[in-house]
């Protein structure tokens, strides 16, 4: 199905988890595998886009034909996304970016003691929210991984981050969210419509999301 509706468009996708280092051997991260982001990158490429895939650590193979930008931490992801942002027409934030990082990185491996250990965390930049402040004519699409009040939280995130579309992910559902080959989502638009979708392969969902973006061109 060679619809080349993304020909001439530059699409940046953030994907996968970030890792926030505690010391040389330890980090804080999450369960994202990069499957959703990779599916979006491949689908956009197949539809004619120039694709930049800014990816946290993942075991997935690099999709052939995309500009692959591997990163580790949220701060690094933000810097690299900024490097490309000017020339982007579309940004899709599928990454599970850590909201916090350890305030102090310990140069030496932390030693085990007899008492509890407290690690103080500090806020990471919110990548999509920062991009939303400087949106221009770009189309910005976010995901929301939620465990409660799916639609209310998702609508809130869409407005706070100045997004056009928000893909709301109830990650408590079987066959949805982290690590699976399928996803179950509701797409919410700035115009106010809410489209619940049946469970489907992440590759198919990627094309449904691109259909919605393409309507906005």
Q: Which residues bind ligand PMT (CB under 6 A)?
A: 14, 16, 32-36, 74, 93-97, 99, 124, 126-128, 142-145, 157, 169, 171, 177-179
C-beta of 127 vs 188, nearer to ligand PMT: 127
Cα-only R_g, the chain:
18
C-beta of 203 vs 214, nearer to ligand PMT: 203
Minimum separation from the CB atom of position 154 to ligand PMT (A): 8
Whether residue 109 is annotated as binding a ligand: the answer is yes
Minimum separation from the CB atom of position 179 to ligand PMT (A): 5
**Which of 30, 137, 153, 169 is flagged as catalytic?**
30
C-beta of 5 vs 99, nearer to ligand PMT: 99
DSSP string, 193-206: -EEE---EEHHHHH
C-beta of 169 vs 207, nearer to ligand PMT: 169
Whether residue 127 is annotated as binding a ligand: the answer is yes
**CA-to-CA distance for 45 and 210, rounded, in angstroms?**
11
Whether residue 92 is annotated as binding a ligand: the answer is no
Minimum separation from the CB atom of position 33 to ligand PMT (A): 4
**CA-to-CA distance for 145 and 171, rounded, in angstroms?**
6
Grouping H, G, I as helix, E, B as strand and the rest as coil, residue 5 is coil
Pairing of strands 50-55, 67-70: parallel
Whether residue 135 is annotated as binding a ligand: the answer is no
Based on the residue annotation, tell me whether 162 is a catalytic residue of this protein.
no
Whether residue 188 is annotated as binding a ligand: the answer is no
**CA-to-CA distance for 205 and 209, rounded, in angstroms?**
6
The CA distances from residue 10 to 42, 58, 140, in Å, are 13, 23, 12
Vertex 147, ends 141 and 149: CA angle to 5°?
80
- The residues annotated as belonging to the active site are 30
> Would you list which residues are annotated within the binding site for CTP?
99, 109, 125-128, 143, 157, 161
């Amino acid at each position: 199905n060679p619809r080349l509706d993304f020909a001439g468009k530059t699409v940046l996708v953030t994907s996968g988890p970030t890792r926030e280092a505690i010391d040389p051997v330890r980090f804080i991260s999450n369960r994202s595998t990069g499957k959703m982001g990779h599916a979006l990158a491949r689908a956009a490429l197949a539809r004619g886009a120039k694709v930049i895939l800014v990816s946290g650590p993942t075991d997935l193979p690099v999709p052939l034909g995309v500009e692959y930008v591997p990163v580790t931490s949220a701060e690094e992801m933000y810097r690299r996304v900024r490097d490309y942002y000017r020339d982007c027409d579309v940004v899709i934030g599928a990454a599970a970016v850590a909201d916090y990082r350890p305030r102090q990185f310990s140069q030496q491996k932390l030693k085990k003691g007899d008492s509890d250990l407290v690690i103080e965390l500090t806020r990471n930049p919110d990548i999509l929210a920062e991009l939303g402040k400087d949106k221009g004519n770009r189309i910005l699409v976010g995901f929301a991984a939620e465990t409660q009040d799916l639609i209310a939280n998702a609508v809130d995130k869409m407005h706070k981050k100045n997004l056009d579309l928000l893909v709301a992910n109830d990650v408590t559902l079987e066959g949805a969210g982290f690590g699976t080959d399928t996803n179950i989502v509701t797409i919410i638009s700035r115009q106010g419509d809410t489209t619940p979708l049946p469970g489907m392969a992440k590759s198919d969902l990627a094309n449904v999301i691109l259909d919605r973006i393409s309507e906005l061109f």
